[in-house]
A = this chain, B = another copy of it.
């Protein structure tokens, strides 16, 4: 197995790096520098024609792209600790929360960053300023909703840490380059963020 991944702060590579650290799993990696647009090179496009990172190449040559697909594959090989849950009910709830956080937080933060940050002008064509702006209140609305949910439980999807927390912490940390802030009033969210940020997996995988 070989993992093609970026070492920087891009959300999807970071999700997989945190996931691997939680599992205590090390995979041979090859760095592909997003900042240098190396993901659009002919060499990497031959591996993943979608030109996205990360990608996992199995020993038989099979290429698995998409952070969540890679994470599920790792979970199948290394079930403990279960970051996608155990049993039909918990697995469905984790999937629901992973998707909610991905679509209504990570995606919205990414849209703000991609459409409003000058550094993204070459990568996001065209940048649509009105669309970047339209995502700002969506981020705030979801954070408020999540704060209410976190009043009653330890983690995003329930009593234990999961893939939904990984997506959420990566999304919230990505608010900084997107020039967005978590309101002080969201005390449950801030308690959760402090605890999750202190985990070795999250603290070491910046």
Please determine whether B68 and A99 come into contact, CB atoms closer than 8 angstroms.
yes
Please determine whether B49 and A96 come into contact, CB atoms closer than 8 angstroms.
no
What is the count of identical protomers in the complex?
2
> Taking the complex as formed, is A42 at the interface, i.e. its CB lies under 8 A from any CB of chain B?
no
Q: Residues of B contacting A104 with CB < 8 Å?
A: 50
- Tally of A interface residues using CB under 8 Å: 30
**Interface hit among A84-92, A179-187, A188-196:** A84-92
Contact for A69 among B69, B77, B99, CB less than 8 A: B99
Instruction: A93 to B62: give the CA distance in the assembly, Å.
Output: 9
Instruction: A99 to B95: give the CA distance in the assembly, Å.
Output: 13
Contact for A72 among B66, B73, B92, CB less than 8 A: B92
Contact with B along A114-138 (1 / 0, CB 8 A): 0000000000001010110010000
Instruction: A14 to B9: give the CA distance in the assembly, Å.
Output: 37
Q: Residues of B contacting A66 with CB < 8 Å?
A: 95-96, 99-100
